[in-house]
């Protein structure tokens, strides 16, 4: 286990199961599904997708300073990983896709390791030490370092505020959106590297090992992140749309917030 596991994942899992049990058996509850969707969209496709992934990891586009900070903050609320750890492990995945060095590969380590458990291993944190161009520029930025240092505090304050607002907000603003985003990212890590009935490739691998696929269901469910073979083929492109049906909502967000030269 790494520190992320006991500082965030384990307590979040306990709180989630406890809340599900409480609300299903003891208390009546309502969920505001519009709030769930808006919050999920902001912390997930915007914060993690357009922010942690496409901006901070791949520098696919340029944006304004307040938007850059907003992306880093929103992505941190998803509770998936601190900014530098997210970028570092993601770039490591690109460089070593589906080789024995890729700890997220379902081909090397099996489905469950790829879907979830790799994140809880100590090695997942060590990847932050693999300083690359993305993490180097992050660690030079005092405001981003502040977000990383206070990552767990910020996440749990978000949870506490939603809890104090009442059960509907606790579920709709915090628990459900966060768990949906974790599910979205876990599905990409595993299913987008597996040959399934709905998966296909537009491009053959540039590396020996890479087995990334586009997946029709995943592409739509994940707001465009699931056109994964397109992304592995050209990681610098801010749009993952190659064929007309490959709608890339995250790519549209990037376009909307990008700074024109
Ligand atoms: Zn991949
Ligand atoms: Zn990527």
Predicted TM-score (pTM) of the model is 0.94
Distance 175 CA to ligand 1 centre (A): 26
Residue 227: nearest ligand to its CA? 1
Distance 227 CA to ligand 2 centre (A): 11
Q: Domain count of the chain?
A: 1
Distance 119 CA to ligand 2 centre (A): 17
Q: Domain residues for 94? A: 3-257
DSSP for residue 214? E
Q: Are 97 and 212 in contact (CB under 8 A)?
A: yes
Distance 176 CA to ligand 2 centre (A): 25
Mapping DSSP to helix (H, G, I), strand (E, B) and coil, where does residue 200 land? strand
* CA-based nearest residue to 102, from 27, 238, 209, 234: 209
The pLDDT-based confidence of 3 (bands split at 50, 70, 90) is confident
Distance 15 CA to ligand 2 centre (A): 30
Lowest-pLDDT range, 51-55, 128-132, 141-145?
128-132
Task: Say what the pLDDT of residue 131 is.
Answer: 61
For residue 246, give Cα distances in angstroms to 66, 162, 228.
Answer: 30, 35, 11
What whole-number distance in Å separates Cα of residue 7 and Cα of residue 59?
29
Q: What percent of the chain has pLDDT over 90?
A: 74
Distance 190 CA to ligand 1 centre (A): 8
> What are the tens digits of pLDDT across the range 82-104?
999 899 889 889 988 888 888 88
> What are the tens digits of pLDDT across the range 189-238?
999 999 999 999 999 876 778 899 999 999 999 999 999 999 999 999 98
Residue 229: nearest ligand to its CA? 1
């Amino acid at each position: 286990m790494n520190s992320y596991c006991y500082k965030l994942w384990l307590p979040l899992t306990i709180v989630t199961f406890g809340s599900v049990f409480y609300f299903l058996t003891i208390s009546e509850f309502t969920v505001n599904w519009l709030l769930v969707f808006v919050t999920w969209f902001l912390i997930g496709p915007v914060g993690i997708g357009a922010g942690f992934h496409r901006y901070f990891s791949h520098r696919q586009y340029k944006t304004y300073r307040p938007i850059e900070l907003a992306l880093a903050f929103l992505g941190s609320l998803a509770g998936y990983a601190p900014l530098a750890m997210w970028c570092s492990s993601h770039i490591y995945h690109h460089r070593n896709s589906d080789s024995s060095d890729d700890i997220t590969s379902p081909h090397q380590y099996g489905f469950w390791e790829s879907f979830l458990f790799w994140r809880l291993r100590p090695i997942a944190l060590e990847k932050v030490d693999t300083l690359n161009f993305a993490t180097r520029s992050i660690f030079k930025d005092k405001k981003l370092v502040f977000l990383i240092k206070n990552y767990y505090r910020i996440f749990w304050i978000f949870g506490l505020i939603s809890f104090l607002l009442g059960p509907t907000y606790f579920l709709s603003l915090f628990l459900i959106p966060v768990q949906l985003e974790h599910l979205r990212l876990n599905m990409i890590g595993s299913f987008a590297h597996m040959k399934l009935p709905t998966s296909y490739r537009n491009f053959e691998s540039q590396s020996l090992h890479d087995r990334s696929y586009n997946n029709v269901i995943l592409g739509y469910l994940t707001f465009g992140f699931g056109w994964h073979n397109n992304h592995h083929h050209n990681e610098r492109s801010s749009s993952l749309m190659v064929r007309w049906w490959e709608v890339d909502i995250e790519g549209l967000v990037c376009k909307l917030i990008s700074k024109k030269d």
